[in-house]
Amino acid sequence: MPDLPSSPDPAARDAPRDMKNLSGVCTISTWAGVATLVLTTVGFLVTPAGTYVGFLVRLDVILAGGFIAAFQLVPALDSSIRFFRARWCNSYTYGALLGICTFLCVFLIRMGRWQFGGYDMGILVETGWRQIQGQRPYVDFPTATPPGFNLGILYAFQWFGVNWDANLYFSALFACLTFLWMVWLMLRLEMGRLASMAMAFAIESAAMLTLCFWWYNDSVMVLAAVFFLSCLAYASKPRSAAVQVSYVLSLTLLSLMKPNMAGVTIVGGVVLLFLATDRKMRLVLLTLAATAAAVGVLLVNRVSIPAMLASYLAVAKEHGSVSASFGYQRMIPFEQHAALFWIAVLSVPLLGLVPKITRLAVERKWKRLFYSLFFPMTLIIALYGLATNGEYRDVDCTMLLAAGAFLTFGLHWNGPLLRRVTIAIVFATIVGDLYYGAARIRVFRIGPHRFFEWQDNQNRVEDGFLKNMRVSATMLEAEREIHLAVDANSGPYFFGPRIDFNYAVLGLRSPQHSPAWWEPGTAFAASDQAHLIEVWREHHFQTLIFLNSNTSYGPRADDMDFFLYPKEFRNAINLEYGKDESYAAITVYHRRSELGP
């Protein structure tokens, strides 16, 4: 790409522009930063825990205190960098990369074994278990989950065995490979070793470490960041064969992921790159190669493309592009304000674009102008993700983080003040996201008491599918009673919401042509409900097992878990089955004998 800034000297990439002696200011700023860290720790400890609002306050204390402390400690950090740079060698870089990858694996596996959420995690398990049985998504069971997510959990079970740990091992492998991939791309963009490793780790923390299990939102946003960096690298080094391979591979993988975020990222990235590059025909051919590769992956894995597209379109037509039940509209007001404020903070490094874009427009340097538009595009995508997804806000901000990093440490379009802000953002993001992941707040959002508990959550599962998991006594009791109910009653069995993962736990066949989870407008088109109820009746289940609707653990299960089922479905249960309330944690329904098989 013409007129891109020349690369700085390698020794100066991570150094501040202002190299004046700041010893006096540095000392004051350092002590202020240490004091801020102490106050942040105290504020965190005195904030009551055990409630979702308490968690949000604690998280904001970490983000605010971490940001301010890091901003104050930047002069001391710069002095340390200059000291270590003179003594640094390549072996230290490789050691740091190995250390970060080890941390990613340990954090993902350890935290991913702590607390189980029966709804989303059940979707993950059921999707993988059905494919292990030979069922094909979109054909043998309705679903709207993306093929990349489906194939990910299938490969996890095939490579590491059919157990919960398999998805954690696969997630850890994915996190390490994409981390190294992003570091490599950032080094190609002349960002420097320290900045590249820190930003790649921040992106993994924002996406993979906040969830700690394989899911369609974290995986798509990590690959979106990889694709974004590949586009930037291609714009600056279009003749590099390695960069071209990165562009094709990242586009291939991203196109298999969740369509709402993958779609806007691919369209925005490809269009801007086409406008910014001089080698348009080569870009078209590479894009077509990625498209062909994605189709090839689907065909090799026996994924029906017409059925997949029909599922997407049916759900999108009824679900809408912005859902009232997910994303921003689902948040409490305090969380909404905090999310918007934090995204505004993450956008501050983009301010360095304003004078550049203005000058490029006045001078009519259109190719460089289109290149500059890559960066505000990341803010638009982050806001779109906030509006349409149901994840923690940082998950949708991976590209926004990467954009700020490249503007600051690659292009050097940001001066000393915005550089300090960027460093503070990186530090605050990492510590906030690690707390989010370690506290298992994502699991809390799946369903408190089903089976998340703030206390009594360290009961270890000793064997079976969930071996090594640390769960609540609530879950252990429900699982014990489910085993008893299955042993005491004949099949085929139907497991209700939040306990459907027990098909895999007990090695039972999942019902074919029934959805992996019941959520009209998300798992399948609402117009298909009547047909799916008939499919359910045709299975002639002998035993139905649900969480107990009379539980004292929280809101009634029939209010929480049956609201997605239509009246016709509940009427069919009451008409064809008798209720057995002899269990404490579950409710069992027996098929009435006069109905026959």
pLDDT of residue 27: 85
Of 402, 433, 349, 416, the C-alpha closest to 77 is 416
The answer on 384 and 334 residing in a single domain is yes
Nearest alpha-carbon partner for 321 in 255, 384, 254: 384
Residue 512 in domain: no
The answer to whether residues 428 and 574 belong to one domain is no
Q: What is the pLDDT of residue 314?
A: 86
Structural domain contains residue 432: yes
pLDDT at position 322 is: 39
The residue segments making up the domain with residue 301 are: 10-446
**573 occurs within a structural domain:** yes
Tokens 């982050």 — which residue? 382
Considering the domain architecture, whether residues 483 and 424 belong to the same structural domain is answered as no
User: Which uninterrupted H or E stretch holds 586?
Assistant: strand 586-591
433 plus 488 within the same structural domain? no
| CA–CA dist 479, 49 (Å, integer) | 28
Residue 574 lies in a domain: yes
- 8 Å CB contact between 90 and 203: no
Asked whether residue 5 is assigned to any structural domain, the reply reads no
pLDDT value at residue 526: 86
Q: Which residues of 301-331 are buried (b: 16+ CB within 10 A; e: fewer)?
A: bebbeeebeebbebbeeebeeebeeebbeeb
Would residue 24 count as lying in a domain? yes
* Prior bond of 451 cis (ω within 30°): yes
User: What is d(CA 305, CA 138) in angstroms, rounded to the nearest whole number?
Assistant: 9
If asked whether residues 162 and 215 sit together in one domain, one would say: yes
Domain stop point among 446, 463, 481? 446
Does one domain contain both 421 and 488? no
pLDDT in tens, 538-566: 999 999 999 885 444 444 444 446 667 88
40/136 same-domain check: yes
CA 102 to each of CA 32, 109, 177, 419, 436: distance values in angstroms, whole numbers, following the listed order: 33, 11, 12, 29, 19
Q: How high is the pLDDT of residue 595?
A: 53
**How far is the C-alpha of 342 from the C-alpha of 306, rounded, in Å?**
40
Number of domains in the chain: 2
- For residues 309 and 288, give the distance between their C-alpha atoms in angstroms, rounded to a whole number: 19
Please identify every stretch of the chain with a pLDDT value under 50, giving residue numbers as ranges. 1-21, 321-324, 550-560
Q: What does the pLDDT look like over 217-248, one tens digit per residue?
A: 999 999 999 999 999 999 999 999 999 999 99
Query: Is residue 454 included in any domain, yes or no?
Result: no
- Do 479 and 441 lie in a common domain? no
pLDDT of 325: 52
pLDDT of residue 450: 87
Q: Looking at the structure, do residues 407 and 490 belong to the same domain, yes or no?
A: no
Task: With respect to residue 461, please indicate whether it lies within any of the assigned structural domains.
Answer: no
Q: Which structure tokens are listed for 351? A: 């301010």
Same domain for 486 and 422? no
Task: Clarify whether residues 288 and 402 are in a common domain.
Answer: yes
Give the contacts of 244 (CB within 8 A, at least 6 positions apart).
234, 238, 282, 286
Same domain, yes or no, for 479 and 442? no
Instruction: Please give the order of strands across the beta sheet that includes 586-591.
Output: 493-495, 543-547, 586-591, 577-580
